[in-house]
Structure 1
């Protein structure tokens, strides 16, 4: 991935590793580590340009599992939009709502809510005001973007403006651990993604996610 686009890496991964039979689609996530020690999961930032509700739900479940496996922290998943709890209505907002309901059906033990704007998902003061009944608003640590444009832009803004370390793209939905790199990666990025791949290879393929699935 350091010298090739993600599409080339993904084609090779599909040929060599194949897909996980339990996965609905292949996606990706980033582990974002901020200078103050906070860590967040971002998905999908590299693979699916316009996910449908089922794919977006799969991205949320897969990203929450990746985040928990790498950090040991309980995932609290925010399904992001430009709307919070009906503040706006649009086809893209409805898609996020549908995906949120699908996540709840498939992973009832996972803490997830949507649709939420980013500030409502991250900041308690804003979350308490915009979504007072939400158990995710204001304390989310996994952010699911509605499409690839938002996700890719979002992780790069966090990396470049907030000084965050961006580990990934971590590919999800493959039968074996395979990961990618941004063509703007540094030597430390390569080392970090290699270490993540080693951790994944040492874990059992049947390790349950936060929902017990």
Structure 2
């Protein structure tokens, strides 16, 4: 697709170092080999070299040019332990640090935190919690952002059909402040993909057509989001048809600069977000890429455990592109 060709061009030859804590999964290993072969990044595999080599041989993959780090015999492990204890600010003893850093996700996240890598992609065999917990404890969220969130890039049959749906993966029922932060971070994610963000704060109400606490939350979130990032075009509350269909927008929100042309859709809670992106994916034929984690100081990405090698490949490219935006 044209979108990914552009992203690949942006990251190619930049020597972006990407951590893969799950190289014993053949999908991850295959994607890492492709990414290196395509000169898109420098994969760092976490695990036992002999075991990884055995899997590679069985798959007919050449991993000679890939970096492999085994936490069990890492030369700078003591330095990493000290850095982890400092970062956790008294919440971990040395013994606890030495134990937890043998976990590949914690170890890989520390490489990112210590600027020994630029990003991390995990989740093919680990739960979302196993991927996000180290990120929140070590990398942490950006100033002014209280929590991370998960966006999906939705791509239609034509490359021009690109939308951001969020939060569809992390926050079950965000309050108005959190929802506003999600909106701002989602607009930034849109820009990563060449989308000029027009952000719709979704509801079952458009401009006061219904009254409820749920509607009030979206209205308040819209107000906060506009204060946080006045440079972005953010509008709410809007029903999906008012946000997406120009004719409906003319009737329901005629003065809005977002209604009828929104391309970033912020759902009021995870239930509607998760249902919404899956309807677009399964009934609408859209490709759903993500979740793309937003709001962290360094890019950490969480794969679906049902992913295939191509999903790993593409999400790694997105994560690499995120790392360039952070520099």
Q: Any conservation in 2 of the 1:31–1:39 contact (CA below 8 Å)?
A: yes
CA offsets per residue over residues 21-73 of structure 1, 9 Å max, x none? 3423211211111112200011111111110100000000000001112x222
Asked if residue 47 in structure 1 is aligned to residue 170 in structure 2, the reply is yes
Per residue, is there more helix in 1 or in 2?
2
Q: 2:235 aligns with which of 97, 108, 113?
A: 113
TM-score (norm 1): 0.91
Asked if residue 100 in structure 1 is aligned to residue 254 in structure 2, the reply is no
2:213 match: 91
Q: For the residues of structure 1 that align with 2:241 and 2:312, how far apart are their CA atoms? A: 31
Asked if residue 74 in structure 1 is aligned to residue 207 in structure 2, the reply is no
Greater than 6 Å deviation, 4+ residue runs: none
Structure 1, gaps ≥5 residues long: 206-213
Q: 1:3 aligns with which of 113, 125, 144?
A: 125
| Bigger relative contact order (CA 8 A; separation at least 6) | 1
1:18 match: 140
Cα drift, residue 4 of structure 1: 2.9
Structure 2, gaps ≥5 residues long: 1-122
1:211 match: none
Q: 1:140 aligns with which of 262, 269, 291?
A: 262
Asked if residue 122 in structure 1 is aligned to residue 244 in structure 2, the reply is yes
Q: For the residues of structure 2 that align with 1:137 and 1:131, how far apart are their CA atoms? A: 6
Q: For the residues of structure 1 that align with 2:245 and 2:212, how far apart are their CA atoms? A: 24
Cα drift, residue 180 of structure 1: 1.0
Q: For the residues of structure 2 that align with 1:126 and 1:19, how far apart are their CA atoms? A: 38
Q: Any conservation in 1 of the 2:162–2:195 contact (CA below 8 Å)?
A: no
Q: For the residues of structure 2 that align with 1:60 and 1:98, how far apart are their CA atoms? A: 12
Cα 1:186–1:164 shift into 2, 3 Å: farther
2:288 match: 166
2:279 match: 157
Q: Any conservation in 1 of the 2:148–2:295 contact (CA below 8 Å)?
A: yes
Alignment RMSD:
1.4
Cα drift, residue 3 of structure 1: 2.6
CA offsets per residue over residues 70-94 of structure 1, 9 Å max, x none? x222100000001111111110000
TM-score (norm 2): 0.60
Cα drift, residue 16 of structure 1: 4.2
1:58 match: 181
Q: Any conservation in 2 of the 1:76–1:141 contact (CA below 8 Å)?
A: yes
Aligned length, in residue pairs: 204
Q: Any conservation in 2 of the 1:49–1:147 contact (CA below 8 Å)?
A: yes
Q: For the residues of structure 1 that align with 2:326 and 2:211, how far apart are their CA atoms? A: 42
Q: Any conservation in 2 of the 1:166–1:189 contact (CA below 8 Å)?
A: no
Larger radius of gyration: 2
